[in-house]
A and B are shown apart, each in its own frame.
Chain A
Amino acid sequence: MAFAAFASTAAPPTDAPPRRRSPVALLLLLPGILYLVLFFLAPLVSLVLTSLQAPSEFGDIGQYSYAFRWENYVVVIEQYWPHILRSFGYALTATVLALLFSYPLAYFIGVTTRRWPLLQSLMLVLVIAPFFISFLLRTLAWKQILSDESFLVTSLKAVSLLAPDAHLTGTAFSVIFGLTYNFIPFMTLPLYTTLERLDLRYLEAGNDLYASPVQVFRKVTIPLSMPGIVAGTLLTFIPAAGDYINASRDFLGGADTQMIGNVIEANFLVLLNYPAAAALSIILMTVILVIVGVYVKRSGTEELL
């Protein structure tokens, strides 16, 4: 539905500067901005504060008092660096896979079916259809489809494409598979938006200027769809890096596939080790912001909002 919102992230910037200054602007902005300050910025601050807390001297488990324990960060990095690395590794792999999966699909919908607008919009509906069904249920459906007793796995084993004692669920494969599947629409939609606006006359011009179809694709189509590629990879990478459902043991993950999100959840909600959870969150957010900043700067598309 909806996810037209991402579509519009790539909308052409309307550069006409607004002309009026008015106190009305303040009235319109203030409630929403105040809300975000209270429920987005302030929580980030308390997350930072929490990450530096020390256990209360006389408290029970889960009782902490404010301190400046920078060591918390050292401790969580020492303890959880495999999870941190794994998170970014899985997210990166899933992003690349989703890009490879989505680009041809988005090209077909955005370029080839242009002449049939109804078909085009119905295909788009199918792309976002997974959003209409619960994220958790569709992940569970994959768990069942990939489970050891499933038709798929037994058949693969029957034809010896899979070792008899192999599993699909609970492996890095299934977690990356789940991440890829779940975030494909986030990749396809922005790609579609730029490709839908791709002026085919540029491709013809390339063709006219002695570029073979492969060269046209590399030199013209890809550069011109860069805004969609940037938006899509970010919209896939960010939620994938922080996800903990796919990697959860009750879903597609196993003991060796836990990601940073799983660790944050466990520390916060189960172990009640709030400083550790907070420190991990800050690390996750910082790394992502750095990656986003560098990436957006290097690809030269800074008009994401």
Chain B
Amino acid sequence: MTRLSLGKWLLPVYSALALLFLMIPIAYTFVFSFNDSLKSNITWRGFTLDKWLNVCAVQNGAVCEAFGNSLLIGAVSTVLATTLGTMIAIALVRYRFKFRAGTSLLLFLPMATPEVVLGAGLAAQFLSLGVPKDMLTIILAHTMFCISFVVVTVKARVAGLDPALEEAGRDLYGSPAQVFARITFPLLLPGILAAALLSFALSFDDFIITNFNSGAVTTFPKYIYISASRGIPAEANVIASAVFILALVIVVTAQVSAAARAKRQARLG
């Protein structure tokens, strides 16, 4: 099999360089979170921890307010999308019903539609209905585009779930509600958590759809977009870097513990 690679070391070296390339803007953002910058954060003026220690000081806390809005929107739309999406996923795998193809198409289309179309469409709808754009419209929009991703993620998990487990639960005198609470839900939990994380990440980083439906409300990405022309304060880099590190820690911990579990199981087997 080594023979099939492009040469023993060419591929590993390329891959290392490729990953390094992917890291460049991340490293840049991280480094410039320590820049002792003034209004804009373009040239390096010296190292400081000041921005990390006083994140909210700049512009009367505008960065932090935007960040808080993003967290709130992310949390609420994640809960909504995960609930609705999980229900659909279970129905898709476990039940037979009419309009199955139509349902699948309805779930696939939002993922195949460019965000700018989703954003403009919702905005046109809110406009024609006279709905004022605020936090609520952002949450409604985010929930909409997260549902399909939740369905796809949870569906894979439901499909991998042996229906005999639920049947065994019923056989052992479990009512439908008990079977769901004690068997189905715990087994689906990893998939649901993954879907929730994905949904939060999508919502938190979304700009395009938000831009069309936010009115005067500022989210973290929107704050960056607005500030881009006049310069982004280093505090934005601080928040982005902190989020990055947090996400990385969560994911790496999950991967390492999964690997450790696999190893333990291999030893037992």
Chain A residues within 8 Å of B, Cβ to Cβ? 1-5, 8-9, 11, 14, 17-22, 24-26, 28-29, 31-33, 35-37, 39-44, 46-47, 49-50, 101, 104-105, 107-109, 111-112, 117-118, 121-142, 144-145, 147, 149, 181, 184-185, 200, 203-204, 207, 213, 216-217, 221, 234, 238-239, 241-245, 248, 250-251, 260-261, 264-265, 268-269, 274, 277-278, 281-282, 284-285, 288-289, 292, 304-305
With known contacts A35-B84, A134-B205, A304-B108, A242–B194 Cβ distance under 8 A? no
How long is the Cα–Cα vector from A132 to B26 in the complex, in angstroms?
9
B95 touches A18 (CB 8 A): yes
With known contacts A35-B147, A137-B237, A268-B120, A46–B255 Cβ distance under 8 A? no
Which residues of chain B are near A42, meaning CB under 8 Å?
125
With known contacts A21-B95, A36-B110, A46–B26 Cβ distance under 8 A? no
Q: Given known contacts A204-B1, A284-B117, what 8 new A-B pairs fall within 8 Å (CB)? A: A43-B121, A117-B259, A121-B258, A133-B25, A137-B25, A145-B24, A285-B117, A289-B112
A3 touches B198 (CB 8 A): yes
Q: Is the interface of A mostly helix, strand, loop or mixed?
A: helix
With known contacts A4-B194, A265-B116, A31–B84 Cβ distance under 8 A? yes
Chain B residues within 8 Å of A, Cβ to Cβ? 1, 3-6, 11-12, 14-15, 18-19, 22-26, 28-29, 32, 42-43, 84-85, 87-88, 90-97, 103-104, 106-118, 120-125, 127-128, 140-141, 143-144, 147, 149, 151-153, 155-156, 159-160, 176, 194-195, 197-198, 201-202, 205, 207-208, 211-212, 220-221, 224-225, 228-229, 232, 236-237, 240-241, 243-244, 247-248, 250-252, 255-256, 258-259, 262
Which residues of chain B are near A261, meaning CB under 8 Å?
114, 116, 208
With known contacts A125-B251, A213-B4, A305-B152, A250–B229 Cβ distance under 8 A? yes
Which residues of chain A are near B23, meaning CB under 8 Å?
126, 129
Which residues of chain A are near B120, meaning CB under 8 Å?
47, 264, 268, 277-278, 281
Chain B's closest residue to A234 (CB) is B112
B117 touches A32 (CB 8 A): no
Which residues of chain A are near B250, meaning CB under 8 Å?
1
B26 touches A284 (CB 8 A): no
State the Cβ distance, A267 to closest chain B Cβ, in Å: 9
The answer, among B12, B152, B236, B241, for a CB contact under 8 Å with A112, is: B12
B11 touches A107 (CB 8 A): yes
A5 touches B198 (CB 8 A): yes
B243 touches A123 (CB 8 A): no
Which residues of chain B are near A213, meaning CB under 8 Å?
3-4
Which residues of chain A are near B197, meaning CB under 8 Å?
1-2
State the Cβ distance, A204 to closest chain B Cβ, in Å: 7
Which residues of chain A are near B208, meaning CB under 8 Å?
242-245, 261
The answer, among B29, B96, B160, B195, for a CB contact under 8 Å with A19, is: B96
How long is the Cα–Cα vector from A86 to B96 in the complex, in angstroms?
45
The listed residue with most A CB atoms (<10 A of its CB), out of B84, B207, B236, is B84
